[in-house]
Amino acid sequence: WTKWLDTVPHFEIPRNAAYDAIVVPTIDSIQLTHVMGKLVTAGNHVLIFGNTGTGKSIHTAQWLQKEAPETYQSVFVNFSAQTHVNQLQDLIDSKTEKRRRGVFGPPAGKQLVIFVDDLNMPQKEYYGAQPPIELLRQWHDHGGWYDRKELTFQAIIDTTYITAMGPPGGGRTFITERLKRHHNMICAIDMQRSSVETIFKTIVEYFLAGFEEPIRALKDPLVSAAYDIFEMVHRELLPTPAKSHYTFNLRDIWKVFQGICSLSPKKNTRVYGDRLINDEDRAWFNSQCKQRIPLFKGPTEEEVYDKPSLVFGDFLSTGDEKYYVEVEDLSKIQATMETYLDDYNNSNTHQMPLVMFFNACEHVARIC
């Protein structure tokens, strides 16, 4: 027996790598790509099912670009609610060439692998049909489809499909069993805490490599505290009809670490806190963040959360010369913006009945 992590070489982040381009292998990702690779290279079609943020798309793309055999030619298709069947057919047809009369396929000696992401996103028609999905189903059942101009059947050979989808809901629908039966299904489960911490400890270690040891030593408590906050928010702040946007997944913790150069508590507030709609939820969230502050040998919770907001802008200048400076007297922000709002409403027929409370003023200042 061999451990999954022993099947891949030791991972090191390439020098000068962009944050979005870093893909750290974990047990979950290695298992997924290994099973998928074995199925695809054997000529089987694959359907990967899992929640948002489980790595379905990025790990499939990684395998196709770096690990798939050289004879494989990949095509990436992203479905949306507005995807039209003609667009899908034209895209796939453009990647094939004529082999013989009525038969098309990739260049000789190649295998075409089509990765369809968000398979269940196309909007249903009045009678419940989803033409893009039915086109794929027709290929699986009959080996091709009809040319729209010549009205002749064209077979498409040497082609394998990898598809990915999330659970129905939030714009996603159920797909027909007639398509699903042609695929081998792989379930991409939510990553374990150990896998998530492995990813972000590797990334943080890379970005802190140029700092002194006291800074580098913050790696473990930083990752642990960030995951604790994400886990608590994900478990306690559930979506409701009034809070339908309270959907948090691993993409959010990814955004937290993307802004790791900022203070961690403030970055958590930008990613999670700005979505909260009432004082009760914001107070609960701030209390959870404050409990994690002692993990750091740095600013106290009062210094982080009770310190006045840092706001810059040029909108307080009244003369022709505008200077972008720090706003030291925060009480002036609200009064100034209300003055600008009154001027607009007095000079335009289309009124803006806005209430410029302090948090709204902060967001407007960031935009300005």
Judge whether 252 and 271 are in contact, CB under 8 Å.
yes
Say yes or no: 139 and 161 in one domain: yes
With a pLDDT cut of 90, the percent of the chain lying above it is 24
Say yes or no: 180 and 205 in one domain: no
Is residue 262 pLDDT above 70, yes or no? Answer: no
Burial class (CB in 10 A: 0-12, 13-18, 19+), 24: middle
Say yes or no: 34 and 88 in one domain: yes
Integer Cα distance of 151 and 149 in angstroms: 6
More confident residue, 215 or 140: 140
Is the residue at 31 inside a domain? yes
The CATH number assigned to the domain holding 100 equals 3.40.50.300
**pLDDT, position 263:** 46
**pLDDT per position as a tens digit, 120-140:** 889 888 888 889 999 999 999
Is the residue at 324 inside a domain? yes
Is the residue at 11 inside a domain? no
Say yes or no: 274 and 322 in one domain: no
- pTM for the structure as a whole: 0.69
**pLDDT per position as a tens digit, 158-198:** 999 999 998 887 778 888 899 999 999 999 888 888 888 88
Q: Which residue has the tokens 């064209």?
A: 154
**pLDDT, position 71:** 92
Is residue 319 pLDDT above 50, yes or no? Answer: yes
Task: Write down the number of H helices and E strands in the chain.
Answer: 14, 11
Say yes or no: 162 and 241 in one domain: no
Is residue 297 pLDDT above 50, yes or no? Answer: no
Q: Which residue has the tokens 């600008």?
A: 340
Total structural domains within the chain: 3
Is residue 299 pLDDT above 70, yes or no? Answer: no
Is the residue at 60 inside a domain? yes
Integer Cα distance of 256 and 53 in angstroms: 14
The CATH number assigned to the domain holding 205 equals 1.20.920.30
Say yes or no: 32 and 171 in one domain: yes
Domain residues for the domain of 97 are 27-188
Average pLDDT over residues 303-307: 51
Average pLDDT over residues 202-208: 81
**pLDDT, position 73:** 92
Q: Are strands 111-117 and 72-78 parallel, antiparallel or unpaired?
A: parallel
